[in-house]
Chain A
Amino acid sequence: MINLEIKKLNKHFGGVKAVDDCSFEIEKGSITALIGPNGAGKSTVFNLISGIIEADSGNIVFSDRDIVGLSPDKISNLGFSRIFQASSLFDNLTVENNLFLAFDNEDTKFWKNLLGFNKATKIKKEKVKEMLDLVDMEKFRKNPAGDLSFGQKRLIELIRAIINPHSILMLDEPVAGVSPRLREKISKILLKLKEEGETILLIEHDMDFTLNMADKVIVMEKGIVIAEGSPEHIKNNRKVLEAYLGE
Chain B
Amino acid sequence: MIFAQLFANGLIAGAIYSLVALGFSLIYSTCNFIDFAHGVTVAVGAYLLYFFFSLLGLNFWLSVILTIIFTGLFGLLLNIVVFKELRRRKASNLILLTASFALLIIFESLILILFGADVKTIGYIQVSRGLDILGAIITPLQIIIIIVSFLLLVIFFFFMKKSKIGKAMRAVSDNKDVAEIVGISAERIYNWSFFIGSAVAGIGGILVGLDQNLVPTMGTGLMIKGFAAAIIGGIGSPIGAVLGSYLLGFGENFGIWYLPSGYKDAIAFVILFIFLLLRPQGILGKKK
Contacts and interface: CB of A to CB of B under 8 A. Distances in A.
Contacts of B211: none
B68 interface: no
Interface stretch (A36-44, A84-92, A148-156): A84-92
Contact of A102 (B175, B182, B192): B182
Give the secondary structure class of B's interface. Answer: helix
A57 B62 CA distance: 54
Interface in B163-191: 163-165, 167-168, 170-171, 173-175, 177-189
Interface string A118-131: 10000000000000
Contacts, number: 82
Contact of A73 (B163, B165, B170, B185): B185
B156 to A, nearest CB: 15
Nearest to B180: A72
Given A90-B174, A91-B174, A108-B168, A113 B182 contact: no
Contacts of A160: 182
Most buried by B among A52, A74, A101: A101
Given A52-B177, A90-B178, A76 B183 contact: yes
A77 B183 contact: yes
A164 interface: yes
Interface residues of A, number: 32
Interface-central residue, A77, A88, A90, A113, by most chain B CB under 10 Å: A90
Nearest to B182: A102
Given A93-B171, A97-B167, A100-B167, A108 B177 contact: no
A216 interface: no
Contacts of A118: 163-164
A108 B179 CA distance: 12
Contact of A92 (B165, B174, B192): B174
A155 to B, nearest CB: 16
A82 interface: yes
A50 interface: yes
Nearest to B191: A110
A97 B167 CA distance: 8
Contacts of B187: 71
A76 B181 contact: yes
B90 to A, nearest CB: 10
Contact of A88 (B163, B164, B167, B178): B178
Contacts of B185: 71, 73-74, 105, 108
B167 A93 contact: yes
A82 B186 CA distance: 17
A73 B180 contact: yes
B183 A113 contact: no
Contact of B178 (A84, A97, A105): A84
A76 B171 CA distance: 16
A52 B177 CA distance: 7
Contacts of B173: 92
Nearest to B172: A90
A71 B180 contact: yes
B163 A113 contact: yes
Given A71-B187, A107-B164, A108-B189, 14 more contacts: A72-B177, A72-B180, A74-B185, A76-B183, A82-B181, A89-B178, A90-B171, A90-B174, A93-B171, A93-B174, A102-B183, A105-B185, A107-B168, A108-B188
Interface of B: 163-165, 167-168, 170-171, 173-175, 177-189, 192
Interface of A: 50-52, 71-74, 76-77, 81-82, 84, 88-93, 97, 100-102, 104-105, 107-109, 113, 118, 160, 164-165
18 contacts: A52-B177, A52-B180, A71-B185, A71-B187, A73-B180, A73-B186, A76-B180, A77-B183, A91-B174, A93-B171, A101-B182, A102-B183, A107-B164, A107-B165, A108-B184, A108-B188, A108-B189, A113-B163
